Structure 1
Amino acid sequence: MSTIVIVGAGPQLGRAIGRRFGAEGFDVALVARNRTTLEEVAGDLAGAGVRAEVFPADVTDRPALHAALTAAEERLGPIDVLEYSPAPSPADLRRAPLVEATEVTVDSVLAQLDLYLLGGVAAVRHVLPGMRARGTGTILVTSGAGSGPIVAPHVANVQIATGGMRNWILNLHAALVGTGVYAAHVAIAAFIGQGGHDSRPETIADAYWRLHTERAEAEYVVQDLPDDYLERGLADKFLES
């Protein structure tokens, strides 16, 4: 049985990815801060016949994240697919407000680096040695498309962090060619579940499955935003989707 770990698992995209991979025979490990949300998602997956286990952890607490991933391996076996898609909580946004490009400071960037880039590095570094030793594995890292494919100056401090993560994953994709391990970045320019067909969680989850099986693209962009989303003040809403 294969195992996917979804770090940052939530009720929309995380649930859809779990259902999609679970339908293909994967066991699903769910990692996020909120145990109640994780258990709700796990219950939904179980109702669809998918084995799902919960491992609460905050990605900014590196020992806790390491412990959660270790527990997932002990309970479900080696991690074959890592999907990393953290999202800020309301408390995160109060502690580290979103900052426009002309107002960026060192402090405004540090908290975003902790959540997106450093948490991602920690998660990938946990699973990568085992994947390389086995000669197989998939790493899918997700962020908003302001990480590079589109411009989102209203949330510039976040994009500094996610841009760094995107750059690293694109380079990791190139570095892993020929090893049997595949890495890709998913950039989401959409209000998940609130737009057209391309923004539906199930549609996006299908794209993750295609990336895992075809193992060709270094990046996939989900594009379903109105052209005037910045002018309409939707950048913050986009980030929180």
Structure 2
Amino acid sequence: MTTFALVGAGPGLGLAAARRFGAAGHTVALISRSAEHLEGLAAELVRDGVQARGFAADVLDPASLTAALRTVAEALGPVEILQYSPAPRADFMKPVLGTSADDLEAPLAFSVKGPVTCVNAVLPGMRALGRGTLLFVNGGTAVRPRPDRAGTSIAFAAESAYARMLHDTLAPENIHAAQLIIPGAVRPDAEHSSPEVLAERLYDIHHRRNGFRHYAEPLPD
């Protein structure tokens, strides 16, 4: 049995994705900063018949991320699927002319150093398995920058470039890197962007392995 590791576990999309991959037979590793928060999410999944555990780590702290993912592999089995989808902080979204170089340190650590750290931690296990999936979830600013959200526009674009390079480089090793763009808010009542619909979309991307960039719905004009 292999593991689905979710970086950025939360009660919306994260929980829905964990439930979907867990239903497919994967053990589930939930990763976020709060151990108490993770305990509640894991208990909810266990009640649904999913084998799940929480592992506390901060995406802005590479050492804690690496340690958590190593512990995941030791405790639950090798990570076959990694989903990187933590929610960006509100202070990442300053106007471009009000954004200093210092303001970009946290967004870039969040969207570039975090993913690089996670991939480096799980890649040896995927190579040993002979397969793997790397799922990157981003908002619309990853492909259409907005001057009122400079931090995410810059950092998501950098994450997109990294993910695309992984897609091209790792394909011969049967490791599929893909990105899902969610242009608007994730809402329970949204036709294309509810947690359950997005979770099914992510599972489909993993299963079909067809292309790099996918959209939950068309980008608004």
**TM bucket, shorter chain:** over 0.9
**Taking structure 1 as reference, are residues 226 and 166 closer, same or farther at Cα in structure 2, changes over 3 Å only?**
closer
* 1:126 and 2:121 are equivalent in the alignment: yes
**Cα deviation code 1:171-212 (max 9, x no counterpart):** 210112221111011111121125521111000000111011
Give the Å deviation of 1:60. 1.1
Q: Which runs of 4+ in 1 moved over 3 A?
A: 224-227
Q: Hey, what does 1:185 align to over in structure 2? A: 179
| Counterpart residue number, 1:232 | none
| Secondary structure class of the residue paired with 2:14 | helix
Residue 106 of structure 1 aligns with which residue?
101
Q: Is the 8 A contact 2:183 2:217 kept in 1?
A: yes
How far, CA to CA, are the matches of 2:3 and 2:93 in structure 1?
Answer: 35
Aligned positions of 1:1-241 closer than 5 A: 1-89=1-89, 93=90, 96-148=91-143, 150-193=144-187, 196-223=190-217
**For residues 2 and 43 of structure 2, what CA distance do their matches in structure 1 show?**
20
* 2-structure distance, mates of 1:195, 1:167: 32
d(CA) in 1 for partners of 2:13, 2:33: 16
Aligned residue for 1:25, secondary structure, equals coil
Aligned equivalents of 2:48, 2:188: Cα separation in 1: 24
User: Contact 1:3–1:27 at 8 Å: present in 2 too?
Assistant: yes
1:177 aligned counterpart, secondary structure: helix
Q: Give the conservation status (yes or no) of the 8 Å contact 1:3–1:77.
A: yes
Contact 1:191 1:225 in 2 (8 A): no
> Which piece of structure 1 moves more, 150-159 or 13-22?
150-159
Measure the CA separation in 2 of the matches of 1:205 and 1:194: 12
CA gap 1:46/1:164 in 2 versus in 1, 3 angstroms = same
- Share of identical aligned residues, percent? 38
1: CA distance between counterparts of 2:200 and 2:67? 29
Question: Number of aligned pairs?
Answer: 221
Farther-moved stretch of structure 1 (10-19 vs 171-180): 171-180
Q: Distance in 1 between matches of 2:80 and 2:211?
A: 18
Deviation at 1:133?
Answer: 3.4
- Equivalent-residue separation in structure 2 for 1:76 and 1:184 (angstroms): 24
* d(CA) in 1 for partners of 2:16, 2:138: 16
SS of residue paired to 2:59: coil
Structure 1: tracts of 5 or more residues without a match = 228-241
RMSD: 1.6
Are the aligned partners of 1:199 and 1:224 in contact in 2 as well (CA < 8 Å)?
Answer: no
Partner of 1:239: none
Given residue 113 of structure 1, which amino acid in structure 2 is its aligned partner?
A: L
Q: 1:31 to 1:85 in 2, by over 3 A?
A: same
Distance 1:136 1:97 in 2: 34
* CA deviation vs aligned residue, 1:56-86 (integer Å, no higher than 9, x gap): 1101111111111111111101101000111
Give how far 1:224 is off: 6.9
What is the distance in 1 between the residues matched to 2:68 and 2:76? 12
Give the whole-Å Cα distance in 1 for the aligned partners of 2:189 and 2:99. Answer: 30
Q: Structure 1 CA distance, aligned partners of 2:55 and 2:204? A: 26
Q: Say if 1:45 and 1:52, in contact at 8 Å, map to a contact too.
A: yes
Kept in 2, the 8 Å contact 1:46–1:52? The answer is yes
